[in-house]
Amino acid sequence: MNAKKYIGHPSQLCGVMQFRMEGGKADGMRMLRVHNSTGLEFYVSLDRCADLPMVNFKGVNMAYIAPCGLVSPNYYDNKGTGFLKSFTGGFLTTCGLTTFGSPSVDDGEELPLHGNISHTPAEQVSYDINDDEIKITAVIRDASLFGYQLIMRREISCPVSENKITITDTVENIGCRETPFMLLYHCNMGYPLLSEASELKINSCKVEPRNDHAAEDIERWADIAAPVSDFEEQCYYHSFDEVPEVSLYNPDINKGMRMTFDTAELDCFTQWKMLGDNEYVMGLEPGNAQPDGRDVMREKGMLKFLKAGEKSSKTVNIEFYEI
């Protein structure tokens, strides 16, 4: 069928709408609303690293939204765990680019929880729509005088007729000295995709607990219970000997999410299990390190670096489906 003959404007089928938020701590934030022709809708927060705060699949929410909601980077507290006061959660929060995970002191530098990149506005934003694909591009600059100088070129693509999102980031060291490089895709699944009926599958060959508390339940890493009060978070580190495939499906809503990535690019995967009242979220997080702080990554020999002029590209593929 030639759909063009049936419509007056392409936005009847798919499109991108740009707007600004009004009111509260989100006031003034630039946002893109993207929708395709088969039921996928997502938002791109241009003042927050071109991250994805909200994703809806056929009218059903896929993401966890933290109690603070959408927060402008103007309110960011970059000391210690101040990140949590403006951590939207959302479907995707990018963490990095020179640190993520626990606050630490490394090489004489005080480093906050999860780094600064998720609170950095994007520049050079553009989008293109054709018969097959919606594509958004943006540049996020993480640089300082006498310090590290990194830029991330982000591309978000979505087929017009398939419920998929592909995120490709190319990080370049535009400075004159080598710098640590840490990048985490903090993807956060929430209700109603996440409930005690949900089925989590990760084709890992090895699962390691982050701490003793996680070790107590390591045999139940994939189990999902109803929300409980005073739940203490549990993190598990997954290793793969084949192409990673991570999925979360809820038969109650007949909808699921599937994630794939390349372990040559993203060699670490963290499962963040947080099943508390009002703090009910499953983090599924590809990265190039573990979230224990840059000092620990250096001690373990897991810390990555970018030489002057060097580039590194990462891709995460997300698919939404019904059975």
Residue boundaries of the structural domains of the chain: 14-321
85: left (phi over 0), alpha (psi -120 to 50) or beta: alpha
If you average pLDDT over residues 166-179, what whole number do you get? Answer: 98
pLDDT of residue 215: 98
Q: How confident is the model at residue 35 (pLDDT cuts 50, 70, 90)?
A: very high
Q: Cα separation of 32 and 53, whole Å?
A: 11
Residue 138 confidence (pLDDT) above 70: yes
Contacts of 147 (CB under 8 A, 6+ apart): none
If you average pLDDT over residues 4-32, what whole number do you get? Answer: 95
The mean of the pLDDT values for the chain is 97
Helices (H), the chain: 212-216, 294-300
Burial status of residue 15 (CB atoms within 10 A of its CB: 0-12, 13-18, 19 or more): middle
Residue 182 confidence (pLDDT) above 90: yes
Q: How confident is the model at residue 4 (pLDDT cuts 50, 70, 90)?
A: confident
| pTM (2 d.p.) | 0.97
Residue 58 confidence (pLDDT) above 90: yes
If you average pLDDT over residues 298-313, what whole number do you get? Answer: 98
Residue 102 confidence (pLDDT) above 70: yes
If you average pLDDT over residues 174-198, what whole number do you get? Answer: 98
Residue 3 confidence (pLDDT) above 90: no
User: What residues pair up with 187 in beta bridges, in sequence order?
Assistant: 92, 284
Distance of CA 119 to the CA centre of its chain: 13
If you average pLDDT over residues 194-198, what whole number do you get? Answer: 98
Q: Cα separation of 81 and 61, whole Å?
A: 27
pLDDT of residue 1: 61
CATH number, domain 14-321, options 3.40.1080.10, 2.70.98.10, 3.40.50.2300, 1.20.1640.10: 2.70.98.10
If you average pLDDT over residues 253-266, what whole number do you get? Answer: 98
61-72: per-residue pLDDT in tens?
A: 999 999 999 999
pLDDT of residue 286: 98
What backbone phi and psi angles, to 5 degrees, belong to 141? -105, 125
